[in-house]
Chains A and B, each alone.
Chain A
Amino acid sequence: MFDYTYLPSPNLLPSLVEMMLKIIFICTMNMAVFAPVLGWVERKQSALMQDRIGANRAEIFGFTVFGLLHVATDALKLLFKEDFIPRGADRPLHYLAPFIAVVPALVAFAVIPFGGKYMLWGHEANLVIADLNVGMLYIFAVASLSTYGAVIGGWASNNSWSLLGGLRVGAQMLSYEVAMGLTLVGVFMVYGSLQLTTIGMAQENFFHWGIFLQPLGFILFITCALAENKRTPFDIPEAESELIAGYFTEYSGLKFAMFWMSEFLEMVTISAVLVALFFGGWQIPFISHQGLIDAMGHLFGPNFGAIVAMLIHVVVFWVKVISWIVILMLIRWSLPRFRFDQVMRLGWKIVLPLALANIVVTGFILLAVR
């Protein structure tokens, strides 16, 4: 009766196995690889840029592994820290807020393809957890829910600084959500779809990558995405010189770590969206999707060839994503923080009109071309 178009084939068992594998893969990448390691990347990168050595003291039998052990020590420290809830705080909401922050950041990845479609032993594997028709809109919907983590955290702490931070989050997210949706309309017009797998396949030709077809949309989107991520130069909700730590001032231990993690996970998602929409997704420049599968098929036979091609595509996708994460992290140490009114002015008076103009111009060009 109901049409679950995103459940792949009627052949249930392989589909189920495929689904489980994909979910486990993405969760492991996000929770076990990116969330902790990005903390280390951030510390080392800032040290590099500021001519310091950075985290290098944690050791096991004299091995420091470039300070990577700090990841483990950080996690241990946060685990054993006192979980403090201030007097007069709204206890249930204070508990709930970090979870509301983390969950959307994690589930947003569901519609992002990290590879194409491959025939394996007669079963078509589609490397995306949920190939939804609404595609990008799902990410917008989930992103709009992620606001609540910070807003509620700020409210429930019973602290004026937190409340101000929460208010700033609310205003900032609301402003940039509108603009962010509009910046991508041009991309959807060009590719004629919201589905990220379709957009990924349409970028098979190197010169059809989103960055070439929608350069203005790209710049506007990256601005909005940075603002949604609440990182410098848009980190006014947690501006330490004004608001202590903003909405998570009153958080400690693991709950603090969850806010911190949600920020990193959002950054991974933003990078993945940038790659999927503007940098060809899993596609390799000048090598077509089917071309690689066929070439590998000649070398390793049809099934193993498809697996090798799949692995190459997945690696290419993550290399692109990691490059973008590094670039986004560079921004934090390069730019000073905006003032609140500047953030608002940028959002409503510059990004929004430019995004609308982008839509109109894209529409005219599409009319002229077709």
Chain B
Amino acid sequence: MQLLIFYGFGFLALFAAISMIMSRQPVTSALLMILNMFCLAGLYAQLGAHLLAALQIMVYAGAIMVLVLFVIMFLNLREKAGIVSKHGVMTQAVGIAAFGFLITALVSKLDMGKLPAAKAPGADFGSVAAIGRALFTDYLLPFEITSVLLLAAIVGAVVLAKRKV
């Protein structure tokens, strides 16, 4: 049953990701990306990381993608807008080569024998309290650096917006 759910979400995520790239309609692409993020959240939830799953949907599928959709709709990008440029043979060849290289590199690194044995997570794994404690003790520095980075981005956005007024 769990395996079935896993494959269901996994294949749906892959399908959404591939069709998102293939789609010529920006809005459809954005929607497929939301579907992809939703499937990832489903996978997180299945692994017991409920908080991560909720945040994935809230932040990525919910907030960020609404913004993306908003911009697409605001600029009214329809299929005719022609944002899909025609790629030359060279571009395609380079793209395929890069993709092949990436896959080989990943597969060569993946040694099934060396993978650590799966551990059963603790009872409070993925709970809000456990993640909060980890964030404010073991990972305090990265956490604070991220918040400073976000603050810088906010200040930058305000400065950029103010200049035009």
Contact = CB atoms under 8 A, between A and B. Distances in A.
Are A and B associated in one complex? yes
A4 B123 CA distance: 10
A62 to B, nearest CB: 51
Interface in B29-53: 31, 34, 38, 41, 46-48, 50-51, 53
Contact of A134 (B31, B51, B62, B123): B51
Contacts of B69: 148, 151, 155, 170
B7 to A, nearest CB: 15
A121 interface: no
A145 B51 contact: no
A324 B109 CA distance: 59
Interface stretch (A135-143, A212-220, A248-256, A306-314): A135-143
A170 B118 contact: no
A1 interface: yes
Given A2-B46, A148-B34, A137 B58 contact: yes
Interface in A120-166: 132-134, 137-138, 140-145, 147-148, 151-152, 154-155, 163, 166
Nearest to A88: B78
B128 A134 contact: yes
Given A145-B62, A155-B27, A137 B73 contact: no
Main secondary structure on A side of the interface with B: helix
A174 B73 contact: no
B51 A137 contact: yes
Contacts of B123: 3, 5
Contact of A145 (B53, B57, B125): B57
A141 B57 contact: yes
B54 interface: yes
Interface residues of B, number: 36
Nearest to A174: B66
A346 to B, nearest CB: 19
A170 B46 contact: no
Interface string A166-186: 110011011001100100000
Given A144-B57, A177-B62, A133 B70 contact: no
A145 B61 contact: yes
B2 interface: yes
Contacts of B34: 148
B76 to A, nearest CB: 7
B127 interface: yes
B96 interface: no
Interface residues of A, number: 35
Contact of A163 (B67, B73, B120): B73
B121 interface: yes
Contact of A144 (B25, B53, B58, B70): B58
A174 B70 contact: yes
B55 interface: yes
A212 to B, nearest CB: 24
A105 B48 CA distance: 24
A93 B2 CA distance: 31
Given A1-B120, A3-B125, 20 more contacts: A1-B118, A2-B46, A4-B48, A132-B50, A133-B128, A137-B54, A141-B53, A141-B55, A141-B57, A141-B61, A147-B62, A148-B31, A152-B31, A155-B73, A166-B73, A170-B69, A171-B70, A174-B66, A174-B67, A194-B128
Interface of B: 2, 25, 27-28, 31, 34, 38, 41, 46-48, 50-51, 53-55, 57-58, 61-63, 66-67, 69-70, 73-74, 76, 118, 120-121, 123, 125-128
27 contacts: A1-B2, A1-B118, A2-B48, A4-B48, A5-B48, A93-B27, A133-B126, A133-B128, A140-B54, A142-B57, A143-B62, A144-B57, A144-B63, A148-B31, A148-B34, A148-B66, A151-B66, A151-B69, A151-B73, A154-B73, A163-B76, A167-B70, A174-B66, A174-B70, A177-B62, A178-B63, A181-B58
